[in-house]
Amino acid sequence: MSIDIAGLGATATAAQKILGMIFPDKTAEETQKLAASLALITAQTGIDQTEAASTDPLEHWRGGLGWVCSLAYLNNFILVPWATAFGLHVPALDIAPLSALTFGMLGLGGMHVYEKTQS
C-alpha cells in the first residue's frame, strides 16, 4: 500500500491561505498602520517647515492664536473679577473651548521645544 503525497504541497498551501484569511498576520497590519501614520507625520512636518520659513507675520497663525487665548484669559480671570468688584458687568467667555485650544497649543509648543533641544 502506497500513499500519494504529490498533492500534499498544494493542499498545505491552500490550508495556509484559508488560515491566513481567518487569522490575519498582525505584523503586516501593524506595519501598514505605522506606515500610514508616518506618512501623515511627514506631511505635517513639511507644512510646518514651509510655515516656519515664511517671513510674512500674517502667516504665523499660532502666535496670533496665542495672543487671542491670552487676552481671553485676561478677560476671564482679571478683568471680570475687577469689574465685578467695582460694580461693573463684563461678560465672561466660555472657558471650555478656550482651554482645549490653549492646551493643544501648549502641547505642540512643548513638542517643538523638545525637538529643538534634541537636535
Q: Does one domain contain both 45 and 79? A: no
Q: Does one domain contain both 3 and 36? A: yes
Q: Does one domain contain both 62 and 105? A: yes
| 89 CB-near residues (< 8 Å, 6+ apart) | 83
Q: Does one domain contain both 49 and 65? A: no
pTM for the whole structure:
0.42
Q: Does one domain contain both 89 and 114? A: yes
Q: Give the lowest-confidence range in 2-6, 23-27, 44-48.
A: 2-6
Task: List Cβ<8 Å contacts ≥24 apart for 112-119.
Answer: none
Enclosing domain of residue 114: 57-119
Over the chain, what HEC string results?
A: CCCCCCCHHHHHHHHHHHHHHHCCCHHHHHHHHHHHHHHHHHHHHHHHHHHHHCCCHHHCHHHHHHHHHHHHHHHHHHHHHHHHHCCCCCCCCCHHHHHHHHHHHHHHHHHHHHHHHHC
pLDDT at 84: 93
pLDDT at 56: 63
Could you tell me which residue, 65 or 6, shows the higher pLDDT? 65
pLDDT at 15: 75
d(CA 94, CA 27): 45
Which tens digits make up the pLDDT trace of 36-85? 888 888 887 877 777 777 676 655 666 677 788 888 889 999 999 999 99
Q: Does one domain contain both 41 and 4? A: yes
d(CA 62, CA 41): 18
Our count of domains for the chain comes to 2
